[in-house]
Structure 1
Amino acid sequence: MEYKYKTKMVCSQEISFNINGDVITDIAFRGGCNGNLKALSKVLDGWTVEQIEAKLKGNTCGQRPTSCADQLCLAVREAYEAQKNA
């Protein structure tokens, strides 16, 4: 299932990805630090929701209380719960 998430308080505006069970693939960020987010997307391809959260949840960016990586954690958890409750 393709999922799109509108980010909050970060430079990227949206994160899209596919979720199948708890496996995340095809992550793409719209906006943000292009090179870093493309690399992050490649590294995390095929990871589970739990693996992504374990490594990135709570990561901050500068003075912000969140980051694009932290927003990804929120997005994959939201998608996983939506898929489970569908």
Structure 2
Amino acid sequence: MTQEFTYRPKMVCSTEITFELDNENKIHNLRFRGGCNGNLKAIGRLVEGQEASKVSEILRGNTCGPRPTSCADQLSKAIDQALAEKIA
């Protein structure tokens, strides 16, 4: 069984991040709305089936140009929020 999560990123080009977490907290079906299409599809392929907390740890703090964040960094925030919601 999987649970779907949606996150609205801030200060980046993408406007929505959606993904599923399975019972083992592995990421599936990651989708970004907006942003750099090719790069974000590549991130989706790279994280498919990976353990969520590990993905968050790797992507956290990544920046995009002069911005203090990036779509990857926002994904880490989305994952952290999803994991917290799942526990609650």
TM-score, structure 1 as length reference:
0.94
Query: Matched residues in 2 for 1:15 and 1:53: separation?
Result: 14
- 1:55-83, CA deviations, whole angstroms, 9 ceiling, x for partnerless residues? 11000000100000000000011011101
Is structure 2 residue 46 aligned with structure 1 residue 54?
A: no
> For the residues of structure 2 that align with 1:76 and 1:55, how far apart are their CA atoms?
12
**Is residue 2:6 matched to residue 1:4?**
yes
Mapped to 2, the partners of 1:20 and 1:76 lie a distance apart of: 12
Unaligned 5+ residue runs, structure 1? none
Q: Percent identity?
A: 47
Letter of the 1:64 counterpart: R
Gaps of 5+ in 2: none
Please tell me whether residue 68 in structure 1 is matched to residue 71 in structure 2. yes
Normalised by the length of structure 2, the TM-score is 0.92
Paired residues in the alignment total 85
Q: Which runs of 4+ in 1 moved over 6 A?
A: none
Q: Give the corresponding residue for 2:17.
A: 15
Contact 2:63/2:69 (8 A) holds in 1: yes
- Cα RMSD of the aligned pairs, angstroms, is 0.8
